[in-house]
C-alpha cells in the first residue's frame, strides 16, 4: 500500500514556463513533507520542505503548497530551467511513526526543454 503517491512518472516543460509536480498521501499521521531532487548517478538532494501547520513555503524559484484536507501537495518551479531536469521525489514523515523516517513516492522525471 503506497502511502505517498506521485501519479505522473514524467513531465515535460518548456524553459521559462512553470513546472508543477504533484504528490498525494494517505497517512493522516504525516506532518512534515519534503521534496528531493535526484540527478543520475547521484543521491537525492533536499530541495524544500513544509510543515503541516503551513500551507505554503517558498524558496527562490521553488514553492511547495500543502492542502491537508485533500492530502495533496505540489511543487511549483518558476521559471523552469534546463538544469532543473531531474527526478523529483516527494517524501513525508510523521512523529507518530516513532521516528523521522521518510516515506517516499516513486518520483516524477522532469524534463525542461530549452
Which residues of this protein are in contact with other proteins, per CB under 8 A? 4, 6, 32, 34, 36, 41-46, 49, 89, 91, 93, 95, 97-107
**Buried b / exposed e along 69-88 (16+ C-beta atoms within 10 A):** eebebbbbbeebeeebbbbb
**Which residue, 32 or 65, is less far from other proteins as judged by CB?**
32
DSSP reduced 3-state for 15: coil
Backbone angles phi, psi at 83, to 5 degrees: -70, -10
| CA atoms within 13 A of residue 65's CA, in its CB half-sphere | 11
Least separation in angstroms between residue 89's CB and other proteins is 7
Least separation in angstroms between residue 15's CB and other proteins is 27
Least separation in angstroms between residue 100's CB and other proteins is 5
Amino acid at each position: 500500500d503506497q502511502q505517498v503517491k506521485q501519479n505522473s512518472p514524467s513531465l515535460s516543460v518548456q524553459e521559462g514556463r512553470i513546472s508543477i509536480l504533484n504528490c498525494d498521501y494517505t497517512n493522516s499521521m504525516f506532518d512534515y513533507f519534503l521534496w528531493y531532487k535526484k540527478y543520475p548517478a547521484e543521491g537525492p538532494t533536499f530541495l524544500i520542505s513544509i510543515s503541516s501547520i503551513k500551507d505554503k513555503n517558498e524558496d527562490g524559484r521553488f514553492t511547495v503548497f500543502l492542502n491537508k484536507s485533500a492530502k495533496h501537495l505540489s511543487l511549483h518551479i518558476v521559471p523552469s530551467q534546463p538544469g532543473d531536469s531531474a527526478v523529483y521525489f516527494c517524501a513525508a514523515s510523521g512523529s507518530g511513526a516513532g521516528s523521522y523516517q521518510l516515506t517516499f513516492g516513486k518520483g516524477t522525471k522532469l524534463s525542461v526543454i530549452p
